[in-house]
Amino acid sequence: MPDYEKMSEKVIAGDQENVAELTQEIVDEGAEPQEVISEGLIAGMNVVGERFKAGDMFVPEVLMSAKAMKAGMEIVNPLLTEGDREESTTVVLGTVEGDLHDIGKNLVGMMLESGGMEVIDLGVDLPADEIVDAVRENNADVLGMSALLTTTMMEMQNVIEVLEEEGLKDDVDVLVGGAPVTKEFADDIGADGWAPDAASAKDLVQEMV
């Protein structure tokens, strides 16, 4: 049995080098790629998510863990079959127009990836049309939008209106977040979900799909 516990511990510690080495060793021993991801890499990031939510880990440590997980994923990803990939949830993610803040959005993306989801990160300062086009082109299951400014959070409503105009609103679950964004605001603008932090965003998306 591969030492997945050790692999998880190295992910939690943010030890990129050791995670890459261990992943390669375990893959060379013939382990199933999906098992390596779920039992080793994601298991470690799940602990990170819980500790972050509880205030026991902080942003720089979470970023290190996410990088360690990515180092392992880079080895396992090419080994996944088409069947494995088709099963995964596609999330289009971005910060709305006029807003350049991306630290929180990046954390959300990393947490979602750690939950086995395919994340298409469009970046920041995104016009509504660009977001909606990406939802359509990628057949997204979830659209995640981030806003950090009280002046840009209303742009989320605009994007939802464009989704409605384009007849896409019923095909995609809209998740919103960012420091000024509240659950009440999310309900008012017709979003399907709101999360206060990156770990909760992952939990919510897993419930949504």
State in angstroms the smallest separation of the CB of 82 from ligand B1M.
28
104 scored as a contact of ligand B1M (CB under 6 A): yes
Helices (H), the chain: 4-13, 16-28, 33-35, 43-53, 59-76, 82-86, 103-114, 128-137, 154-165, 183-188, 198-208
Least distance in Å: CB of 47 to ligand B1M? 16
Q: Which of 142, 139, 16 is nearest to 86 (CA)?
A: 139
Q: How far is the CB of 138 from ligand B1M (least distance, A)?
A: 16
Backbone angle region of 147, left / alpha / beta, with phi > 0 → left and psi within -120 to 50 → alpha: beta
Contact 143, 172 (CB under 8 A): yes
Q: Give the contact letters, 50-69, x = binds to ligand B1M (CB under 6 A), - = no.
A: ---------x----------
C-alpha distances in angstroms, 160 versus 20, 29, 63, 127?
40, 48, 30, 12
Choosing from 39, 97, 99, 113, the residue that interacts with ligand B1M (CB under 6 A) is 99
Q: Is 108 in the site for ligand B1M (CB under 6 A)?
A: yes
Backbone angles phi, psi at 46, to 5 degrees: -60, -40
Instruction: Find the part of the chain contacting ligand B1M (CB under 6 A) among 18-26, 37-45, 74-82, 174-182.
Output: 174-182
Smallest gap from Cβ 3 to ligand B1M, in A, equals 31
Tell me if residue 121 falls in helix, strand or coil: strand
What is the C-alpha separation between 65 and 176, in angstroms, rounded? 24
Single out the residue of 35, 100, 139, 165 in contact with ligand B1M (rule: CB under 6 A): 100
Contact status: 202 vs ligand B1M (CB under 6 A): no
Task: Return the residues of window 128-147 that contact ligand B1M according to CB under 6 A.
Answer: 144-146
Of 21 and 118, which has the nearer Cβ to ligand B1M?
A: 118
Which amino acid, residue 176? V
Residue number with CB closer to ligand B1M (48 or 145):
145
Helix/strand/coil for 99: coil
Binding site for ligand B1M (CB under 6 A): 59, 98-105, 107-108, 144-146, 148-151, 175-180, 195, 197-198, 201
